[in-house]
Amino acid sequence: MSSQKLTVKQKKFADEYIKTGNATESYKKAGYKVDKMSSHAISNEASKTLLKPCIKSYIDAQMKKLEDSKIMKASEALQGITAIARGEAKAKAYVGDDKATGEPVYREIYPTIKEIQTAYDSILKRYPVSDADKAQIKKAQAEAIKAQAEAQVAKAQAEQLHTVADKTREKMDKLSIEELRNLAKLAGEDDD
């Protein structure tokens, strides 16, 4: 901003101009004496006032502040990503209209596991990971893969046992009562 300080009228003019973008209306609202001026003269004076270096600098500085406040900073982005990673972020999802009032009904939804993982990945990209951390991550990934494989093996074994049990049941169903009694006697002799 210029080293020259704005007068009260100049500041009011500049602030009004920032709000409306209309120099003539801003000039009138700023308190300049316009009663005996033609609309052409007011427009001329407003344009001259707008071009004064101290006013132009002030408007430019204020506009930059406004623009800067609209742009997300890195810290704000990281805070948002962190909220997602922690499962704290939530959004509203439209679920329909209330039958009684006809008003829209919303419910809160939270990030999915995939969205949380994506947030973790996004955060970790910004921070260097030490070799010890990398090793720990690899170990955890290996353990997760091993656990998943063990779960698949257990599932396959359970399915195989069901198949064997089903086949045994089918064979038992085909046996006569006499054959079943003989089997029971044989099983009873082994217990002694």
In a shared domain, residues 111 and 145: no
Answer yes or no: do 40 and 87 share one domain: no
Q: Is residue 3 part of a domain?
A: no
Q: What is the pTM of this model?
A: 0.40
Which of residues 24, 39, 70 is at a domain's end? 70
pLDDT band of 156, cuts 50, 70, 90: confident
Band of pLDDT at residue 2, cut at 50, 70 and 90: very low
pLDDT at 1: 43
Determine the structural domain holding residue 43 and report its residue range: 8-70
Residue 88 within a domain: yes
Q: Is residue 2 part of a domain?
A: no
| Residue 163 neighbours by CB distance under 10 Å | 10
Alpha-carbon distance 94 to 45, whole Å?
52
